[in-house]
Structure 1
Amino acid sequence: MTVAMRAPMNAEQKNANRRARVLIWGAALIVILNGLFPLLWIFLTSLKPEGELGRLPITYLPHTWTLQNYATVLGFDPTNPSPKPFWRWFFNSVFIAVMSSFFAVLVSSLVAYVVARMNIKGKGAILGIVAGVSMFPLITLIVPLFQTMRAAGLLNTYFALIIPYTVLSLPVCTLMMVGFFQQIPRDLENAAMVDGCTRIQSLWKVVFPLAAPGVFTAAILAFVNAWEEFLLALTLIQREDMRTLAVGITLYQGEFSFPWALISAALVMAMVPVAVVVVIFQERVVGGLTAGGVKG
């Protein structure tokens, strides 16, 4: 039995491969710098005293490193007699984002399962309508949402944002999970039902674990969308203690002042939850679709 040997690459092929690698790494470096430089700039700005920001020429690294901005934002500065309720805004954002993402994933997973598994006429039309709903600009929904929430007495409450955020996340979550559910073999569910499981039990014990990457990805998208949303939070919540963090950060701006260093510190703190969520669930998101499935 002979084994075919691959012919060695000549110098021209090696140079071509080397140039291709240089182009790929160069493009990747540009993308990384484009994404990380603004974050790095905000972080370095948060470590500068306010008076240093007006210096010319502009300095990238702080001449005087300070954590005073973080102390002021977090309410640990004794020289600031009336600190902003940062922790209250932080709690509001976490609670609203978690609850809206939970309800969005719960409802969209059930809808996606029905579309993916049941013999329903017009599945393509249903998915097309779901995709079309997500294309409406948010600004067109402000007036009807405001009137609806005012009539229901929900203005300045958590539900004023949880309900719209849940509805707005449903199309994307549903479309994403339909694709995951369609790739899971029906035989696994049939085997579970033969063993005595109901359809709901097979959904909970078989389909959901296998579709975990899709479920967690949808949850993260819903969480991030709710965390960073600004327009609805500004319109539907007027009480300062009920503001979300995205809106509350804008309140650091005064009538004649714009404390960039203070705002930068608040922005860094606002990025922490999203980074933590992505790091914690990264393996789930990129994990195998059928992890734990039956071996052939």
Structure 2
Amino acid sequence: MRSRVRVPSAWALALCALFACSKPAKHVAEAGVTPSASPVGDEPDASTRPTATSSPPTASSSATAQQAPSAGPDAPASPQLELRTGASPYDWRLDARGLPAVSTDGRRVAVLLRDHDGMRGFPNGALVILDVDRDKVVSKTPLLSSDELAKALTPPQLAALEAKVRARLARAEVLVAAVTWTKSAAAEHVWDADAGAFSLPDVAGVAARLVGERLRLTDATTSRVLLDQDARPWQLPEIPLGPGLTPCAFSPEVAALAVDRARRVAFVLVAQTVTRGGDTCDAPVAPHAFRLAP
């Protein structure tokens, strides 16, 4: 029987950085989902300044992959963004509740996007709002970068940074409050220990498969194609690291999926698996929003 486990976290939110994971092929990704259902959002608590270490997934850290629950088509969402600090000076976390969310008119998707942080383990995030019909980022509001926290070495610097982050959160809340949102079902990918690969649960009856140059979203019951998307732009070129060093090479995969069937909206987080180059390679994550077929 196959055991499926959640990938361990690499930065206190980067879902392994949604996801930076140390494994034979390093996976780098992250956005924010919370159990109204998403990988783009919450991070585990930490009592000390995070380190750059992470461990490969093991069958002992068990969490069974299941189909994500479907949110009611008209369930209201009240997205909330919050900075939490703990007893330790570096015990910071960004909370995103109710994200990803879809606007009631089905034109926008809001997510908390978390990027890689160089395997350091620092929280980071930006509020991203996407146009569904154009698959375009219409606004990106940076909230906290990993570099900012890494450079805040004294109590006055930390206090100044905290004030900046709280001001950014206030601006982001204004953007969110200007739109009426609904809940969406969402799930992150999980590590299949036996297969040695990530797999993504079905979400609201929708299955996502990225194979070769095509991303296909299908009805999990009837296999009807809801989206057939050209994935060639997600193929990244190799990045040279210098003389005598193996260049960084990447392979895209779907790291998270959120779906609103009533409004025919899908949010897809595309992350990159590092296939060559090791931990010296950092790959970006890319949020996408699509209109599903009727």
**Looking at both structures, which has the greater relative contact order when contacts are Cα pairs under 8 Å and sequence separation is at least 6?**
1
TM-score (normalised: structure 2):
0.23
TM-score (normalised: structure 1):
0.23
Which has the larger share of helix? 1
Which has the larger share of strand? 2
Rg (Cα) greater in structure: 1
